[in-house]
Amino acid sequence: MTFVDTNIFIRYLTRDDPEKASACYRLFEKAKLGQIELTTSESVIAEIVFILSSRRLYGLSHQDVRVRLYPIISLPGLKLTNRRRYLRALDVYSDNNIDFEDAISIAAMERQKISQIYSYDEDLDQVKGCEVSRIEPE
């Protein structure tokens, strides 16, 4: 198994360097076909989302980020400890105006059947499709 860094995903997803994008495509095809096993981390996935959605860099919408990243995370040859959590986080992120890190937290909460979160982040008050309520310390 080999770890995949953020820049490999970015080159593949954006195709901003055609030569590197082709090499990354071949790498992910091998993973898709089960010829190799790859892995990455939650921080890499979060960094990919941040870079793709950054107005300064690529400026993709939440929905566009999901459309591009979901198939990669779903690859059989990409081993992720919390694959379902990442996929659910992409759904929550795509459907709401929240940071991806918050979407990961909501996905983790759902998995653990936790319905309340201590936070001052008011964006969490409007999350659709989730049974999560925000509370503040008293």
What is d(CA 58, CA 56) in angstroms, rounded to the nearest whole number? 7
- For residue 83, what are the contacts with CB-CB under 8 A and spacing of at least 6? 73, 74
pLDDT by 10s per residue, the chain, length 138: 999 999 999 999 999 999 999 999 999 999 999 999 999 999 999 999 999 999 888 999 999 999 999 999 999 999 999 999 999 999 999 999 899 999 999 999 999 999 999 999 999 998 988 888 999 999
> What's residue 129's pLDDT?
83
> What's residue 57's pLDDT?
86
Residue 85 · residue 111 · CB < 8 Å: yes
Q: How far apart are the first and last CA of the chain?
A: 47
Q: Nearest Cα to 125, choosing from 94, 96, 104, 105?
A: 96
Q: pTM of the prediction?
A: 0.89
> What's residue 88's pLDDT?
96
What is d(CA 52, CA 15) in angstroms, rounded to the nearest whole number? 12
